[in-house]
Amino acid sequence: MTNMEIDLDVPTMMSKLNEVLDQRFEKMDVEGIRYYKLPDRQIITITAITEWRGIVVEYAENEKEAEMNWFEDGDVFYLADYEDVESYIKAIMGEIEGNMAK
């Protein structure tokens, strides 16, 4: 771990990110997987990549694609690249908002 790296594990960061997403977007559960419906009808899910110490946001165009597990990957956000929880969540939320249809 570098001096600037967030001192949290990936599951803890997933929990913190889910709290933010729960407040911001409509939550859906399909077969035990948590999804979020964006205002533009896209569906997102977040996936932990513990061996890389990162989280990836995955996107589906609509509910049908989500139910069929047709997701496209966004960027991987590595904990080592951020100094604090707030900047990490802000970066992820910036990607999500940037991918919403205008």
Residue 79: CB atoms within 10 A of its CB come to 20
* pLDDT confidence band for 1 (50 / 70 / 90): very low
Full-model pTM: 0.85
pLDDT given at position 31: 80
pLDDT given at position 3: 47
- Which comes out higher in pLDDT, residue 100 or 19? 19
Give the chain as a 3 state SS string: CCCCCCCCCHHHHHHHHHHHHHHHCEEEEECCEEEEECCCCCEEEEEEEHHHCEEEEEEECCHHHHHCCCCEEEEEEEHHHCCCHHHHHHHHHHHHHHHCCC
Decide if pLDDT at 22 tops 80.
yes
pLDDT in tens, 31-83: 888 999 999 999 999 999 989 999 999 999 999 999 898 999 888 999 999 98
